[in-house]
Amino acid sequence: MKKITIISILFLILFAMSCGDSSCEKECSSTTTTSPLNPNGDSELALMMREMFDEGMRMKGQIQKGEQPEVFKQFEEIHSVSATEPEKQASPEFKAFARAYHQSLESLKSATAEDAKPLYNNMVDACMTCHRSMCPGPMVKIKKLYIRD
């Protein structure tokens, strides 16, 4: 009789422990979140600049094929979208860099296929100048935009 009682108690303890484990797993799995790729989050400005990079790569391909580049987007909203560091975006320096970028884009927009390469590289220079001063992290990626001889 003692053996049956001991076995029953052990069985109940194991059963209680196994029930507790599954509820813990459910609780833990429901509270587990994946961390974002960028620890600061992705601002609207960061997302726009990724789109600017994609647009630049598309234009680079056109120029390398000897075609006149098509400028689809002007990215005028660069001044108004939310930034990771809004104080930098509000600075006169950032605004000057943004104007320089827009001017280089306008020059590229009206360029012939023969004139496109140096004007395109001027646009990339505008990006590099701003990032050198404001946010150097993406410079490695931006360098991929240059058209080399």
Q: What is the pLDDT of residues 44-86, one digit of tens each?
A: 999 999 999 999 999 999 999 999 999 888 788 898 899 989 9
Report the distance separating Cα 7 and Cα 141, nearest Å: 66
**Domain parsing of the chain, residue ranges:** 44-145
Cβ(78)–Cβ(48) under 8 Å? yes
pTM: 0.72
Instruction: Give the CB-side neighbour count of residue 130, counting CA atoms within 13 A.
Output: 23
Report the distance separating Cα 115 and Cα 75, nearest Å: 22
Q: What is the pLDDT of residues 77-116, one digit of tens each?
A: 898 899 989 999 999 999 999 999 999 999 999 999 999 9
Cβ(74)–Cβ(102) under 8 Å? yes
Mean per-residue pLDDT, 10-29: 50
Report the distance separating Cα 126 and Cα 97, nearest Å: 7
Mean per-residue pLDDT, 134-140: 95
